[in-house]
Chain A
Amino acid sequence: EVQMVESGGGLVQPGGSLRLSCAASGFTFSSYWMSWVRQAPGKGLEWVVNIKYDGSEKYYVDSVKGRFTISRDNAKNSVYLQMNSLRGEDTAVYYCARFLSSGSYYDHWGQGTLVTVSS
């Protein structure tokens, strides 16, 4: 069974940092692109970042460029999101999701982890 479990969310002050993790199982992780998608409370879905299956390509939404960094460890079947200089508008549930190739759709999502940026 395909599973993706996010962790690392929590309450952080503005300007602070947080590292999210997504542990995958039940599929060949190293064959899939991975994404982080977020959803602010009561709002819609916002794509944040993609990483290629081998980590060689990364694409970010403009609002997080220079602040967030995605990485992956295929040996640990995990993808990470390092979030620095956090702002109130980064408050959201962060989902990891997989897609098979560049130009493909999300066929599985994790359950999400909540990040709250507040003083």
Chain B
Amino acid sequence: DIVMTQSPDSLAVSLGERATINCKSSQSVLSRSNNQNYLAWYQQKPGQPPKLLIYWASTRESGVPDRFSGSGSGTDFTLTISSLQAEDVAVYYCQQYYSTSFTFGPGTKVDIK
């Protein structure tokens, strides 16, 4: 199975500042056939289901603010919140869908400093 790790476990950022979350997969999730990275990012607020933010590692889901961006390829990925807003306080998860057995990262909690 592909193991996903995230860093840091948590971070506190001042309003308007940048937040950066890293995600690493134990093997490449880049498909040679279509040159796509099978990596998604989700945001989960307390008491709510996860919400899709980014798919194919860097494609923003419709309606997601453009302060959220994804980057990376192969085994190393990053979610960036360019200017943290109060409503961005949440736990963020990466997920690989490269294999038939999906796996999630352990999550990164983002708070306001």
Contacts and interface: CB of A to CB of B under 8 A. Distances in A.
A11 B1 CA distance: 31
A106 B52 contact: yes
Interface in A94-116: 95, 97, 99, 102-107, 109-112
A47 B52 contact: no
B61 to A, nearest CB: 7
A106 B107 contact: no
Contacts of A50: 100, 102
Q: Is the interface of B mostly helix, strand, loop or mixed?
A: loop
B56 to A, nearest CB: 8
A107 B102 contact: no
Contacts, number: 58
B49 A109 contact: yes
Given A46-B104, A47-B104, A110 B49 contact: yes
Chain A, interface size category, equals 20 to 34
Interface residues of B, number: 27
Interface in B55-113: 55-56, 61, 91, 93, 95, 97-98, 100-107
B49 A47 contact: no
Contact of A109 (B31, B50, B107): B50
Interface in A64-119: 95, 97, 99, 102-107, 109-112
Nearest to A46: B104
Given A47-B102, A47-B104, 5 more contacts: A44-B104, A44-B107, A45-B44, A97-B49, A105-B40
Interface of B: 1, 31, 38, 40, 42, 44, 48-52, 55-56, 61, 91, 93, 95, 97-98, 100-107
Interface of A: 35, 44-47, 50, 57, 59, 61-62, 95, 97, 99, 102-107, 109-112
